Amino acid sequence: SNTPVNVTVTGAAGQIGYALLFRIASGQLLGPDTPVKLRLLEIPQGVKAAEGTAMELDDCAFPLLAGIDIFDEPNAGFEGANVALLVGARPRTAGMERGDLLSANGGIFKPQGAAINAGAADDIRVLVVGNPANTNALIAQQHAPDVPAERFTAMTRLDHNRALSQLAKKAGVPVAEITRLTIWGNHSATQYPDIFHAEIAGRPASDVVADQAWLEGDFIPTVAKRGAAIIAARGASSAASAANAAVDHVFDWVNGTPEGDWTSAGIVSDGSYGVPEGLISSFPVRSVGGRWEIVQGLDVDEFSRARIDASVAELVEERDAVRELGLI
């Protein structure tokens, strides 16, 4: 349709924001037929830099960009939002785990959830990128009781894409030949990248790369600790790859996942695969009719079960910690 979609981006002046906004405005978030209006939400100190980015967005003359507004207050920023990308939060630095950010960042998501509840559009879709993403998404969701819980999601698509790339390298195939990979659990070092249902050119991935030592000693830790490796190498946390994953997540949510494949996203658990109801955990998901569905009926062997359980236990701990902090 020709009605612009309102996309709110928090942390617009940050490094992910800088990589993300141009992709959205060029049409990659929602597709080439959908005009977008950007609503940039920053803290007051970030407004000037966001204005500079808005000038550059103007200077791209993107045909699909129908307007840019800048806000420093969440109620205004989320008013009428159809899509909300919650990026604004402090990144970790070397030596920290993402969960160490809970007390610093958790407080951001309570007022933002309330603002979404108060003024976002009825079809609002929320993706939380700011860390710790799963638990921040839970905080926001808990403060938006009038919004269906399923509209709150956390980003594990970057982990999914990292896993695709690592597996493709090992198998010596293009990434496009890999399907049905899964990230389970938390966007943290406990996440479980699962290749046991994955296929490489239609064959079971675990037949093509039948190498348990590589799986346990290389693949799983490389994917799970990739964020820290990027920080060590770049001196700053991932930005363009994170923005890319956010674009992939929302594009698939709106447009559907490819036939025969699935992806990974942090969504509210309905109790599937033994993940306690209400936690925001990564699952194998398909997007059908504009909604995420958990892929059902996958066999989970002992090896996978232990890893899923460990990551889910961390999500329970994080939920309990934010309860203690009075954030939910």
Interface pattern 32-71 for ligand NAD (x via CB under 6 A): ---------xxx--x-------------------------
The verdict on 5 binding ligand LMR (CB under 6 A) reads: no
Q: Provide the residue type at 318 as one letter.
A: E
Long-range contact list for 223-230, CB < 8 A, 24+ apart?
A: 223/159, 223/162, 223/163, 223/166, 223/183, 223/191, 223/193, 224/159, 224/188, 224/189, 224/190, 224/191, 224/192, 224/193, 225/189, 226/159, 226/162, 227/98, 228/94, 228/189
Stretch of 80-88, 209-217, 230-238, 254-262 contacting ligand LMR, by CB under 6 A: 230-238
Residue 159 or 252: the one with the smaller Cβ distance to ligand LMR is 159
Residue 35 or 91: the one with the smaller Cβ distance to ligand LMR is 91
Kindly tell me which residue out of 83, 158, 198, 224 binds ligand NAD, with binding defined by CB under 6 A: 158
Q: From ligand LMR, ligand NAD, none, which one binds at residue 113 (CB under 5 to 8 Å depending on kind)?
A: none
Give the angle 200-205-210 at the CA atoms, nearest 5°. 135
Query: Of 261, 121, 120, 240, nearest to 252 (Cα)?
Result: 261
**CA 240, CA 232: separation in Å to the nearest integer?**
16
User: Any idea which residue has 């290389």 for tokens?
Assistant: 218
Kindly tell me which residue out of 5, 6, 7, 15 binds ligand NAD, with binding defined by CB under 6 A: 15
**CA 65, CA 18: separation in Å to the nearest integer?**
16
Beta-ladder partners of 292:
287
Stretch of 90-98, 106-114, 116-124, 288-296 contacting ligand LMR, by CB under 6 A: 90-98
Q: Is 187 known to be catalytic?
A: yes
Counting residues that bind ligand NAD (by CB under 6 A) gives 29
The verdict on 237 binding ligand NAD (CB under 6 A) reads: yes
11 annotated as ligand-binding: yes
**CA 114, CA 1: separation in Å to the nearest integer?**
29
162 annotated as ligand-binding: yes
Interacting residues with ligand NAD between 178 and 197 (CB under 6 A): 187
Residue 68 or 230: the one with the smaller Cβ distance to ligand LMR is 230
Interacting residues with ligand NAD between 275 and 304 (CB under 6 A): none
User: Coil, helix or strand for 123?
Assistant: coil
The verdict on 131 binding ligand LMR (CB under 6 A) reads: yes
Kindly tell me which residue out of 5, 13, 102, 247 binds ligand NAD, with binding defined by CB under 6 A: 13
* Maximum pairwise Cα distance, the chain: 55
**CA 63, CA 72: separation in Å to the nearest integer?**
27
Kindly tell me which residue out of 155, 163, 224, 322 binds ligand NAD, with binding defined by CB under 6 A: 155
Residues that bind ligand LMR (CB under 6 A): 91-92, 98, 131, 158, 227-228, 230, 237-238, 242
